[in-house]
A and B are shown apart, each in its own frame.
Chain A
């Protein structure tokens, strides 16, 4: 009969994690350089920034929206934070007369930029009823423009060591960047599963009318969702800038697409109401390991793009089949 076996159910439920493990095993055989602590840490460092972005974007997607502006927020945060922590000895500083500020000021300024763009997105979506795609497309272009205006498209180099340590420092063998990623992931997990706000996000994405009738203020929650997404993006912006040791106005270009791809591969449904943090993390790791593995195997970066595209579409097709079978 069409009865699904226990094994089948298990595979369906954990498919994304099984894929991840299979990839790791296969790559370990194909390339001796893959399964080394240094290489794995490298993968984590590279993917931490995008992982944080993906978590923020996933909140928007679960609420049945999207956030296209996160890449631009990375860029904007990058130039704002960097401009506040340039070495005083550097002659071409953005703010030539700036006194020596503690790096935390730069961090806060960067985070504020992300939250403000996020709140603007949220307000547009909540109070003007513009589709999230359009609202965040607009703010994506605007934020990108502002980052270029601030810097005239020049990089913002010569950052002070106290700031760079955020992106380059280690706690034992583990880089700070990875620790921040883990912390953000844990916070997001707790929010989604253990707070009222998290349940509201799922309810709004699952059926906005029911959420409204249940007394949930959809508007306030949308503000919070997009502010959180903006916040995550600016955290990523600061980490990537500190690691690169330079503010760059085009730093986050196309990052929004990687983040959306990771959330999608991780099982976040664009129809709303479905998505988990472990799934998103698996999604970002699959993309990261794929990048890394294809590189180690010497496969052309152009072909890598093709493979990535196929995997994204394939993941969604699989997910939809899985959900369709439940009905």
Chain B
């Protein structure tokens, strides 16, 4: 057997204006978990897209099990035993789990080769899901599943190809701690079957738990490949950013004032039950909980994107009637949504329009025409202030890295000059450097007297950034903790708690 199942040698890939990969070497051993790390824009995803034939390399060689191969398209990659689970899932939402898994290679009836054998498909899916301990009915429509469960299905699909190499791009970005455990168990199972798993992530702690080897890329260059046992967090970060990050959470102590917003007895049938809490001036209120606890739904309700059946919201002691996002913005609330691509950015439009779109009313000349000069000034100002890296304000936002897209969205909301800023998973899928920058922005805003609600599934972020922590479980608040009394175990206990004694879940 070869020492390496996969060898990529001198891979070069350019895009208009960018040399994304600069002669990268990458080698993976069979039956191992190989972490691929680097900041956004380092070339991780591009390298993998070269491997699976989405963006074949301009030059360089790919050797698979000792044989040189060319992979012009994803279909070939699958035939060669390379399956990839993408960060942005693309399931066919209206079709069932089993149809999604066997899409394009449905089992056919033996008697009539042109008819799909749904019975066999169902049986095979059931067996596959059982083996992976995924408790989902094969006939469920994918749109009914949570993001986490969709991801499980994608992993099952990749495994169903009998691939020797499985690539996972940020697989845990939408998963709760329990689901991460489940995923790791699956990965170990794959490894035991001699499958090589290439694991792309930004989360340090995961690397040390699951990976055998790690390769770091930076600016399209190969920096280092080493067994994980020879690395630690510091050396890894140094390799990734080329400098040392002294402060992971740059939290500054802010002056916490009186009550800014109060939510009383908020109710959304089937989703949220009797939610009451208060938010103080200058405070960062962390909101923790498992996926499905209703955190995003609560924020959407406060912001007027969802109808509530009962409950009141008070801002500065006055009751406000929020029926739509426009009402919420008028009341001084900004909302950075959870899913950047789905609800945040407008991909085909420029950075400039994406920055000002929530705030067009402030740029009117004579009440009707847009003041392009003022727009440019403000965009330039925020570009500087938030260190948004973009070739120009007219560049399409879809061409920016995730971290920079997120900064544009932060700028969008800061321009509305909100007193209350709701941030839903503000650093999901963002590299460490940009993450620290966004954390700095958040803590500065709190120091300026803004009230921040920060929903996050990353425990270190919650613990490192919050003044108080609100824990939700199954649509209810199960605890409000001071940062001094909070630790990972306490939060997890409340996050997993069933509805407490006083309440029934609807």
Interface residues of A (CB under 8 A from B): 1-4, 190, 193-196, 199-200, 202-203, 206-207, 209-217, 269, 271-274, 325-327
- Nearest residue (CB) in A for B329 is A215
Q: A211: which B residues are within 8 A, CB to CB?
A: 346, 357
Q: B328: which A residues are within 8 A, CB to CB?
A: 215
B344: Cβ under 8 A from any A Cβ: yes
Q: A326: which B residues are within 8 A, CB to CB?
A: 16, 396, 399
1/0 per residue, CB under 8 A from A, across B281-294: the answer is: 00000000000000
Give A215 to B344 CA distance when docked, in angstroms. 12
Taking a contact as CB atoms under 8 Å apart, the answer to whether B58 and A2 are in contact is yes
B436: Cβ under 8 A from any A Cβ: no
Q: How far is the CB of B384 from chain A (nearest CB, A)?
A: 23
Give A199 to B355 CA distance when docked, in angstroms. 12
Q: How far is the CB of B197 from chain A (nearest CB, A)?
A: 27
Taking a contact as CB atoms under 8 Å apart, the answer to whether A210 and B345 are in contact is yes
Task: Give 12 new A-B contacts, CB below 8 A, not counting A3-B16, A216-B326.
Answer: A2-B16, A195-B368, A196-B361, A196-B363, A206-B348, A209-B343, A213-B305, A213-B337, A214-B357, A217-B324, A325-B16, A327-B398
Interface size on B, as a range, is 35 or more
Give A209 to B328 CA distance when docked, in angstroms. 16
B127: Cβ under 8 A from any A Cβ: no
- Nearest residue (CB) in A for B337 is A213
- Nearest residue (CB) in A for B328 is A215
Q: B343: which A residues are within 8 A, CB to CB?
A: 207, 209-210, 213
Interface residues of B (CB under 8 A from A): 14-17, 19, 58, 303, 305, 324-326, 328-329, 335, 337, 342-349, 353, 356-358, 360-361, 363-364, 368-370, 372, 396, 398-399, 412, 416
- Ordered by A's residue number, 30 sampled pairs between the chains whose C-beta atoms are within 8 Å are A1-B19, A2-B14, A2-B58, A3-B17, A193-B370, A195-B368, A195-B369, A195-B370, A196-B361, A199-B357, A202-B346, A203-B357, A206-B347, A207-B346, A209-B337, A211-B357, A212-B305, A213-B303, A213-B305, A214-B325, A214-B357, A215-B326, A215-B358, A216-B326, A216-B358, A217-B324, A273-B347, A274-B348, A327-B398, A327-B399
Taking a contact as CB atoms under 8 Å apart, the answer to whether A199 and B345 are in contact is no
Taking a contact as CB atoms under 8 Å apart, the answer to whether B369 and A273 are in contact is no
- Nearest residue (CB) in B for A204 is B346
Taking a contact as CB atoms under 8 Å apart, the answer to whether A199 and B353 are in contact is yes
**A4, A203, A207, most chain B CB atoms within 10 A:** A207
Q: A210: which B residues are within 8 A, CB to CB?
A: 337, 343-346, 357
Q: B17: which A residues are within 8 A, CB to CB?
A: 3
**A203, A207, A214, A325, most chain B CB atoms within 10 A:** A214
Our pick among A1, A4, A193, A206 for the contact of B349 (Cβ within 8 Å) is A206
Taking a contact as CB atoms under 8 Å apart, the answer to whether B370 and A199 are in contact is yes
List of 7 A-B pairs having minimum Cβ-Cβ separation, nearest first: A206-B346, A214-B358, A273-B348, A196-B360, A215-B326, A207-B346, A215-B329
Our pick among A194, A202, A272, A325 for the contact of B370 (Cβ within 8 Å) is A194
- Nearest residue (CB) in B for A202 is B349
Taking a contact as CB atoms under 8 Å apart, the answer to whether A216 and B16 are in contact is no
Q: B335: which A residues are within 8 A, CB to CB?
A: 213
- Nearest residue (CB) in A for B326 is A215
- Nearest residue (CB) in A for B16 is A4
**A194, A196, A215, most chain B CB atoms within 10 A:** A215
Taking a contact as CB atoms under 8 Å apart, the answer to whether A196 and B370 are in contact is yes
- Nearest residue (CB) in A for B398 is A327
Give A215 to B17 CA distance when docked, in angstroms. 35
**A213, A273, A327, most chain B CB atoms within 10 A:** A213
Q: A212: which B residues are within 8 A, CB to CB?
A: 305, 325
Q: A217: which B residues are within 8 A, CB to CB?
A: 324, 326
Taking a contact as CB atoms under 8 Å apart, the answer to whether B349 and A273 are in contact is yes
Q: A216: which B residues are within 8 A, CB to CB?
A: 326, 357-358
Q: A273: which B residues are within 8 A, CB to CB?
A: 346-349
- Nearest residue (CB) in A for B375 is A199
Give A271 to B349 CA distance when docked, in angstroms. 13
Taking a contact as CB atoms under 8 Å apart, the answer to whether B349 and A203 are in contact is yes
Q: B349: which A residues are within 8 A, CB to CB?
A: 202-203, 206, 273
Q: A193: which B residues are within 8 A, CB to CB?
A: 370
Q: How far is the CB of A64 from chain B (nearest CB, A)?
A: 11
Q: A199: which B residues are within 8 A, CB to CB?
A: 353, 356-357, 360, 370
Q: B372: which A residues are within 8 A, CB to CB?
A: 194
Q: B326: which A residues are within 8 A, CB to CB?
A: 215-217
Q: B344: which A residues are within 8 A, CB to CB?
A: 210, 213
Give A190 to B346 CA distance when docked, in angstroms. 21
- Nearest residue (CB) in B for A206 is B346
Q: How far is the CB of B356 from chain A (nearest CB, A)?
A: 8
Q: How far is the CB of A292 from chain B (nearest CB, A)?
A: 34
Q: How far is the CB of A32 from chain B (nearest CB, A)?
A: 43
Give A9 to B64 CA distance when docked, in angstroms. 37
Q: B303: which A residues are within 8 A, CB to CB?
A: 213
